[in-house]
Each structure stands twice: as structure tokens, then as C-alpha cells.
């Protein structure tokens, strides 16, 4: 079964600095990959997704992620952090890479992003 690992449970950056949140997946079969964001006391919102095609994926709020099969990674980046980016970010993938997952997702442990003025 697919597993998803996020490196770093907490990341702290200054406003205007680069944001880099790391995610690695386990499957040898390229899966669908997702980043979700959770603002305080809210549900999860889809930030961006990789399904097939272009490996550099652009999402909402200036975030993007690059699918790298050779590194089994899907790291999330944003060139310049804003105070409003402070949230928890989750990387996710279907549990059965290459097969039917019936809408289910396996999530990473989450990374809390703090943005300092």
C-alpha cells in the first residue's frame, strides 16, 4: 500500500521568504498526488494536484509542486511567503497506486507552516 511521508512537522519562515514543504511517496507506480491546506478550525481545502502530464503543477495562492519520479517526491513551494499562508499542509495520495481507490486517500503527517513578520 502507498505511504506518504512529510519531512518536518513544523516549518517556520519569514514573510517574503521561500516556502518549501517536503513530501515523499512510496509507490513505484506514479500515483496521483495532492496537497491540501487546513486553516485554523477549518476543513481541508485542495491546494493542487498531480494526475498525469506536466510534472510542475500550479495551485491556488501562488503555490506550486513538482513531481519527481526519480526522487519519489512531490515538494510544495511558494517563492514568497505571506502571513495568510500560515496553516497546516497535508500531502496525500490514493492508497492503491495504479489501482482503484474508491475516493480514499492516504495522508502524510502534516506540516504546520508558521510565517513571521
Residues that bind another protein (CB under 8 A): 6, 9, 32, 34, 36, 42-46, 49, 51, 90, 92, 94, 101-110
* Nearest distance in Å: CB 20, another protein: 19
CA pair distance 65, 49, nearest whole angstrom:
8
What is the DSSP-derived secondary structure letter of residue 9?
S
* Nearest distance in Å: CB 86, another protein: 17
**Helix, strand and coil in the chain, % to nearest 5:** 10, 50, 45
* Nearest distance in Å: CB 101, another protein: 6
* Nearest distance in Å: CB 102, another protein: 5
- Tell me the backbone φ, ψ of residue 41, rounded to 5 degrees: 60, 30
Q: Which of 58, 72, 75, 94 is nearest to 11 (CA)?
A: 75
Which CB sits closer to another protein, 103 or 117? Answer: 103
Amino acid at each position: 500500500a502507498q505511504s506518504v511521508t512529510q519531512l518536518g512537522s513544523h516549518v517556520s519562515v519569514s514573510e517574503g521568504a521561500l516556502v518549501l514543504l517536503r513530501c515523499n511517496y512510496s509507490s513505484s507506480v506514479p500515483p496521483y498526488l495532492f496537497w491540501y491546506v487546513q486553516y485554523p478550525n477549518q476543513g481541508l481545502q485542495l491546494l493542487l494536484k498531480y494526475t498525469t502530464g506536466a510534472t510542475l503543477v500550479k495551485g491556488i495562492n501562488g503555490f506550486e509542486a513538482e513531481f519527481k519520479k526519480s526522487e519519489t517526491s512531490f515538494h510544495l513551494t511558494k517563492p514568497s511567503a505571506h502571513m495568510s499562508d500560515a496553516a497546516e499542509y497535508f500531502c496525500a495520495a490514493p492508497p492503491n497506486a495504479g489501482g482503484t481507490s474508491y475516493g480514499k486517500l492516504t495522508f502524510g503527517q502534516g506540516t504546520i507552516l508558521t510565517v513571521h513578520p
